[in-house]
């Protein structure tokens, strides 16, 4: 990432948290690189790098409220990180999202406001989430 203002989002347009995160990025005036990871999943190496960059464990980045998680009994501690990565690559829906990458860090943006910690530019306008929750006030500051 050579551009200090570059932003990449691993995005699922069907997810409200992902849409809110994308909108917060755009509220800085930046247009991120959008990777719809269900269509273009990361490679194993990219996934390992993303997870490591978040500071979370593989299990913490695993999405739990989806069909493959239950069917595969992935809450069983018998599964190793390598095996969990294999499942995430086989079933990208198991990768929790959105993950955002900037020069300032990598975050799993749940809730969407987490992205504010790594954006290279400030918010330009007020921002309210799709559910009506205010995030940024008229002065450009966080509400909570």
Asked if residue 129 is part of any domain, the answer here is yes
Strand, helix or coil for residue 117 = helix
Q: Which of 9, 10, 12, 15 is catalytic?
A: 15
The pairing of strands 127-128 and 134-136 is antiparallel
Q: How do the pLDDT tens digits run along the chain, 144 residues long? A: 678 789 999 999 999 999 999 999 999 999 999 999 999 999 999 999 999 999 999 999 999 999 999 999 999 999 999 999 999 999 999 999 999 999 999 999 999 999 999 999 999 999 999 999 999 998 888 987
109 is catalytic: no
Residue-wise DSSP of 20-71? HHHHHHHTTT---EEEETTTSPPPHHHHHHHHHHHT--HHHHB--SSHHHHH
Residue 82 lies in a domain: yes
Tokens describing residue 119: 């954006």
Token duo for residue 49: 């790098």
Instruction: Evaluate whether residue 2 is within a structural domain.
Output: no
> Is residue 141 situated within a structural domain?
no
> 109 lies in a domain?
yes
Report how many domains make up the chain. Answer: 1
Q: Does residue 108 lie in a domain region?
A: yes
- pLDDT digits 0-9 by tens, 78-103: 999 999 999 999 999 999 999 999 99
Q: Is residue 66 part of a domain?
A: yes
- Predicted TM-score (pTM) of this structure: 0.94
The domain of 74 spans 7-136
- Residue 131: partners with Cβ closer than 8 Å, 6 or more residues away: 16
CATH number at residue 20: 3.40.30.10
Q: With respect to residue 26, please indicate whether it lies within any of the assigned structural domains.
A: yes
């Amino acid at each position: 990432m050579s551009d200090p203002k570059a932003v990449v989002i691993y995005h699922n347009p069907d997810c409200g948290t992902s849409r809110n995160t994308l909108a917060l990025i755009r509220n800085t005036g930046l247009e991120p690189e959008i990777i719809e990871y269900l269509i273009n999943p990361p490679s194993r190496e990219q996934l390992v790098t993303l997870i490591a960059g978040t500071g979370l464990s593989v299990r913490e980045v695993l999405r739990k409220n989806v069909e493959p998680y239950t069917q595969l009994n992935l809450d069983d501690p018998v599964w190793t990180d390598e095996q969990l990565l294999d499942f995430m690559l086989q079933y990208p829906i198991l990768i929790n999202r959105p993950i955002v990458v900037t020069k300032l860090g990598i975050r799993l943006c749940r809730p969407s406001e987490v992205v504010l910690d790594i954006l290279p530019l400030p918010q330009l306008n007020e921002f309210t989430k799709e559910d009506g929750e205010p995030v940024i006030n008229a002065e450009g500051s966080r509400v909570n």
